[in-house]
């Protein structure tokens, strides 16, 4: 099961990424609400420091980059890159401490926090939420004439039946 926490634009607009501090009910078996709130507040503080263009470190990185023709970015690294790497490590450690896997914030373009849970309870819940389709062997082959498909819902599965036209 994948749990996705969307980016919250109401806090800082699009200047720097921030995530909503409200508790998601899907996290209930894995993370207590107070610990979740502490995690998101800490993450938001670090994101503000890393991405806000007016922090001292980011302004100094900008001046140093301009004066060295951006060679300082390659030789010394930037404060922003170091802070983002530390943030990803922070999220990974939080996720692993609670039995989850976290997607990279950079790969998600800082638009959401994605946690992947693979324990037996989440598999059971996800199977209940999905419709399973059982297809008969005759439908798995390409028919020579067009068919209409009707679905009939039962308590735990959906069956596909063949209706001639």
So what's the pLDDT on residue 94? Answer: 97
Q: How far apart are CA 36 and CA 143, in angstroms?
A: 53
pLDDT given at position 96: 94
**pTM confidence score:** 0.70
Extents of the domains making up the chain: 2-127, 131-163
- Convert the pLDDT of each residue in 21-48 to its tens digit: 999 989 988 999 999 999 999 999 999 9
Given this model, what pLDDT does residue 127 score? 59
| Blockwise average pLDDT, block size 10, the chain, 165 residues | 91 89 90 96 95 93 94 91 96 95 94 86 57 46 44 41 46
């Amino acid at each position: 099961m994948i749990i996705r926490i969307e980016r919250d634009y109401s806090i800082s607009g699009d200047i720097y990424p921030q995530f909503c501090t409200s508790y998601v009910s899907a996290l209930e078996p894995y993370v207590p609400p107070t610990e979740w709130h502490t995690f998101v507040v800490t993450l938001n503080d670090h994101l503000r420091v890393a991405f806000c263009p007016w922090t001292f470190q980011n302004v100094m990185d900008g001046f140093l980059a301009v004066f060295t023709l951006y060679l300082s970015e390659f030789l010394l690294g930037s404060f922003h890159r170091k802070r983002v790497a530390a943030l990803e490590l922070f999220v990974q450690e939080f996720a692993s401490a609670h039995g989850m896997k976290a997607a990279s914030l950079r790969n998600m373009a800082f638009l959401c926090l994605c946690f992947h849970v693979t324990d037996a309870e989440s598999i059971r819940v996800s199977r209940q939420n999905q419709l399973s389709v059982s297809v008969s062997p005759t439908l798995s082959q390409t028919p020579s004439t067009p068919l209409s498909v009707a679905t009939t819902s039962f308590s735990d599965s959906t069956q596909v039946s063949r209706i001639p036209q």
